[in-house]
A and B are shown apart, each in its own frame.
Chain A
Amino acid sequence: MAWQWFHRLGSPRWFYEKTTSWLPWLAVISIALLLTGAVWGLAFAPADYKQGNSYRIIYIHVPAAFLALAGYYIMALSGAVGLIWKMKLPFMVMKSAAPIGAVLTFISLVTGSIWGKPTWGTWWEWDARITSMLILFFLYLGMIALQQAFQHRDTADKASAVLALVGMVNIPIIYKSVDWWNTLHQPATIKFTSKSSIDPSMLYPLLTMVIGFYCFYALVLLLNTRLEVLRRESKTQWVSDLLNNIKPESK
């Protein structure tokens, strides 16, 4: 009885119907947070004493990088859940998370490159964190490629889940790379246990953007997963009813 809620979570139809009511809230919250953070950070936060205004790309670069790493964990964990409990829905989430993560990694690499030109003088540098983020991008691309390669949906899902889990070793390396190697990329400035070394007037808009990005990621992930649910369950009655706008009779 206690596990009923957990097994209900595995039903694509339940997921689709539940998230229909969540989407508007999530959209409003994420857009509100993103707008607040962006305006605050771009217009109202003070200019850096050394970098001037060019540091403001941090408000996109840092949240994108956070989400790229977190997104890989989400992908790998949903793959693990699907492999262990043999549920359909986690695999759909895993499949949807791959392109989102790839785009976010790309954004963080490109914004980092744009930031690097005025501050470090170079578009690209092969230091530890940048290289390991590039490796993360390759891992995402490998996931997307492997998904497309198989004929059977089941095999594709399980093989991609194994690949995601094997690639998970890379994430701690990226995270700790700036501590292990003396590199050009700066070490962590936002700390949970001690005072952050970034000024609060810059920290708060950054945190707003980070939370806004998380909400936005959740929104996009839910949208993509809902699409995947419709795609895979297209032969069922409830999907054809939904698409033909036939409302279920009230019970």
Chain B
Amino acid sequence: MANPTLKNDRGGFSFLAGFVANFRRDLLVAARHKSELANPLVFFLIAITLIPLGVSPEKSVLALLAPGIVWVMALLATLLSLDGLFRSDYDDGSLEQMLISPQSLYFAVMAKVLVHWLVSGLPVTLLAPVLALMLSLPAEGFWALFTSLLLGTASMSLIGAVGAALTVSLRKGGLLLSLIVMPLYIPVLIFGASAVQSAVQGGAIGMQLAILGAFLALAIVLAPIAAMGALRISANG
């Protein structure tokens, strides 16, 4: 281990060492369940397949719907993977240990959310252009789709962490989690889908990307704090 005592050279606890330790642990846990990496991706694929089957296979219709559909399905794939964010740690008691440890809880939560994004949001973003191809998205939309999803899935992992922290102590928390998190996702969805629409119509996407970036910046600062409060409440309840 790089820094087993997690202390900096002045004897205090090092934020970076704590973050790295949590990050390595969560990444290791995720690597031990490699098959779970496929779950959001397969959901994404199957859900996208439902649209031509259920709505219409006409290229013109699909091309019209494609920006929004890919974004909505990416949102749902992220949402479904949120339930397990804190659950396994809550179940075996390590969450409580994190709460009472002298390490910074902010960075512990950030590490968890980063790993969650790396194994769900990022693969979804990488797969999205392939699925957009299946939905006949015009070529101009691909770059906008990729960049807007990159920013958007990161925000959604952060915002979703708040909901996951609130519902972690509930047995059937999954559906309630979706209910409380989806209204908070809607602004991200609006600007993300708008970016792709705008690119398809030949316009600029700078404004939408800037606002998505602003959402991400706000979420990075505020969402872990809300999640920390919610974790303390859930663990004590």
Is the beta-carbon distance between B183 and A162 smaller than 8 angstroms? no
Bound: A149/B230 CA distance, A: 15
Is the beta-carbon distance between B236 and A145 smaller than 8 angstroms? no
Interface-facing stretch out of A91-99, A115-123, A135-143: A135-143
Interface-facing stretch out of A52-60, A63-71, A166-174, A238-246: A166-174
Interface-facing stretch out of B5-13, B53-61, B146-154, B164-172: B164-172
Q: Give the contacts of A121-178 with B (CB-CB under 8 A).
A: 131, 135, 138-139, 141-142, 145-146, 149-152, 154-156, 158-159, 162-163, 165-167, 170, 173
Bound: A170/B187 CA distance, A: 9
Q: Which of B183, B184, B229, B230 has the most CB of A within 10 A?
A: B183
A interface majority secondary structure = helix
Q: Which of A154, A158, A166 has the most CB of B within 10 A?
A: A166
Is the beta-carbon distance between A159 and B233 smaller than 8 angstroms? yes
Residues of A within 8 A of B21 (CB): none
Residue of B nearest to A143 (CB): B180
Bound: A167/B173 CA distance, A: 19
Known contacts A142-B179, A155-B233; A162/B184 CB under 8 A: no
A243 to chain B, nearest CB (A): 30
CB of B226 closer than 8 Å to a CB of A:
yes
Residues of B within 8 A of A146 (CB): 166-167, 176, 180
Is the beta-carbon distance between B233 and A162 smaller than 8 angstroms? yes
Known contacts A149-B170, A149-B173, A150-B237; A166/B183 CB under 8 A: no
Contact of B167 among A149, A165, A167, A173 (CB under 8 A): A149
Residues of A within 8 A of B226 (CB): 162, 165-166
Is the beta-carbon distance between B170 and A150 smaller than 8 angstroms? yes
Is the beta-carbon distance between B176 and A145 smaller than 8 angstroms? yes
Known contacts A149-B167, A166-B226; A141/B179 CB under 8 A: yes
Bound: A163/B234 CA distance, A: 13
* Chain B 177-217 interface 0/1 with A at a Cβ cutoff of 8 Å (1 = within): 00110111011000000000000000000000000000000
Bound: A173/B188 CA distance, A: 13
Residues of A within 8 A of B167 (CB): 146, 149
Residues of B within 8 A of A149 (CB): 167, 170, 173, 176
Q: Which of A146, A154, A167, A170 has the most CB of B within 10 A?
A: A146
CB of B162 closer than 8 Å to a CB of A:
yes
Known contacts A150-B237, A162-B166; A139/B183 CB under 8 A: yes
Is the beta-carbon distance between A155 and B237 smaller than 8 angstroms? yes
B interface majority secondary structure = helix
Known contacts A142-B179, A155-B233, A162-B229; A135/B186 CB under 8 A: yes
Is the beta-carbon distance between B234 and A155 smaller than 8 angstroms? yes
Is the beta-carbon distance between A155 and B169 smaller than 8 angstroms? yes
Is the beta-carbon distance between A173 and B183 smaller than 8 angstroms? no
A130 to chain B, nearest CB (A): 13
Residues of B within 8 A of A170 (CB): 183-184
Bound: A44/B22 CA distance, A: 69
Known contacts A146-B180, A170-B183; A159/B173 CB under 8 A: no
A174 to chain B, nearest CB (A): 11
Is the beta-carbon distance between A159 and B237 smaller than 8 angstroms? yes
Is the beta-carbon distance between A159 and B187 smaller than 8 angstroms? no
Residue of B nearest to A128 (CB): B190
Q: Give the contacts of B214-237 with A (CB-CB under 8 A).
A: 226, 229-230, 233-234, 236-237
Residue of B nearest to A173 (CB): B187
Residues of B within 8 A of A131 (CB): 186
* Apart from the given pairs A138-B179, A139-B183, A156-B237, 13 other A-B contacts in the complex at a CB distance below 8 Å: A83-B229, A135-B183, A142-B180, A145-B176, A145-B180, A150-B170, A155-B234, A155-B237, A159-B234, A159-B237, A162-B162, A162-B166, A170-B183
Top 5 A-B residue pairs of the complex, sorted by shortest distance between their CB atoms: A155-B237, A142-B180, A138-B183, A158-B233, A135-B183
20 CB-based A-B contacts, threshold 8 Å: A83-B229, A131-B186, A138-B179, A138-B183, A139-B183, A142-B183, A145-B176, A146-B167, A154-B236, A154-B237, A155-B233, A158-B233, A159-B166, A159-B233, A159-B234, A162-B166, A162-B226, A166-B184, A166-B226, A167-B184
